[in-house]
Amino acid sequence: MIRLIYVVLLVLSFTAAAVQAKTLLILGDSLSAGYGLSQQQSWVYLLQQKLDQQASDWTLVNASISGETSGGGLARLPALLEQHQPDYVLIELGANDGLRGFPIPQLESNLNKMAEHIKQQDSKAVLMQIRIPPNYGPRYTTQFTNLYPKVAEQQQIPLWPFFMETIALKQHWMQADGLHPNLDAQPVIADLMLPLVLSLE
């Protein structure tokens, strides 16, 4: 009888742990893929370490690819959702769309479709604000920037601040290309992202 009770308690403890465990899929571009760095040097890897140190139940899955556009992310999303079945998906995309001057309505459509597909798969979407350099002209740049809160409001999903707003202001945190965060910036980004991840239910 005692042995049976022990087995039941053991099963219940494993079940509770499984229920509490949460997965965040990061669907991003080179800013999250750790461009020019090893995987172990990227902010996503460092953030996972910080979460583990806090005995957090979060598991991060980094599905970011350098050069990824919103269209590419939309195309890859169904397979990623099926494979990982995440609780949340962080959409960190659009920078490459902007840098290539893609039409704003096309980006808006792709972001909306990603959020809707995530919801349909019983997951929750989170959108990161993205900004582009001002040299694309005030009209395009303003439309691009304003698109993200618009999509977040339409989809009723959280809008996270763009971590590059802090990093890009410091030259010593940027790679020589002026676009990508360097090795020293990665732990700073991890620190910025930690409370955001922990704020998710």
Per-residue pLDDT reduced to its tens digit, 186-199? 999 999 999 999 99
What pLDDT is attached to residue 1? 54
Q: Annotated catalytic, 30?
A: yes
* Cα-based distances in Å from 173 to 41, 107, 128: 14, 28, 20
Catalytic entry in 97, 122, 180, 199? 180
The span from the CA of 46 to the CA of 118, in Å, is 26
> Cα separation of 117 and 73, whole Å?
12
Q: Mean per-residue pLDDT for 174-187?
A: 96
For 115-133, the pLDDT digits (tens) are 999 999 999 999 999 999 8
How far apart are the C-alpha atoms of 169 and 159, rounded to whole Å? Answer: 21
Say which of 64, 97, 177, 184 is annotated catalytic. 177
Question: In sequence order, which ranges of 70-167 are alpha helices (DSSP H)?
Answer: 70-84, 95-99, 104-120, 138-155, 164-167
Q: Determine which one of 30, 42, 64, 70 is catalytic.
A: 30
* pLDDT of res. 8: 40
pLDDT one-digit tens code per residue, 50-102: 999 999 999 999 999 999 999 999 999 999 999 999 999 999 999 999 999 99
Query: Across all residues in the chain, what is the average pLDDT?
Result: 92
Classify 23-198 by CATH class. alpha beta
In angstroms, rounded to a whole number, what is the distance separating the alpha carbons of residues 95 and 68? 9
> What pLDDT is recorded for position 149?
98
